[in-house]
């Protein structure tokens, strides 16, 4: 039997996977047994099918982002994932697209540099970071 907060979190993971899939053309999904307390079958990330992102989804009113990032980074280390940790949080009465995303600056800059190179703002052969 699951608790209301567990059902709320599970629902947010499904909602987030659908939102990312619909907006990015991916087939993201909620990881099996996500939030079950063990890093195993799901690989530790809350979502599957999000290349380069190790998603830690949280649907709570008050979130300790540093603790959530520590959890994601710990799971990355255990699974030896090359993905970048990202914590995504939505509060009640927020639309999914208004969720907050938090990641380490160095990880963000890798994505931002790729975006800038794609749009011609910088050369794509700069390998710093």
Confidence of residue 127 (pLDDT cuts 50, 70, 90): low
Closest CA to 10 of 2, 20, 19, 22: 2
The class (CATH top level) of 4-103 is: alpha beta
Alpha carbons 64 and 88: distance in angstroms, whole number: 12
pTM: 0.88
Alpha carbons 8 and 43: distance in angstroms, whole number: 21
Q: Per-residue pLDDT tens for 71-105?
A: 999 999 999 999 999 999 999 999 999 999 999 99
């Amino acid at each position: 039997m699951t608790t209301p907060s567990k059902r709320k979190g599970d629902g947010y993971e499904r909602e987030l996977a659908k939102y990312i899939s619909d907006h990015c053309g991916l087939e993201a999904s909620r990881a099996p047994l996500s939030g079950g307390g063990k890093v195993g079958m799901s690989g530790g990330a809350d979502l599957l099918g999000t290349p380069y992102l190790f998603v830690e989804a949280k649907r709570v009113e008050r979130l300790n982002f540093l603790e959530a990032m520590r959890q994601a980074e710990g799971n990355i280390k255990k699974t030896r994932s090359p993905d970048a940790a990202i914590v995504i949080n939505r509060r009640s009465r927020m639309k999914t697209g208004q969720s907050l995303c938090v990641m380490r600056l160095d990880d963000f800059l890798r994505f931002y540099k790729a975006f800038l190179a794609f749009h011609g703002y910088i050369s794509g052969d700069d390998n710093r970071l």
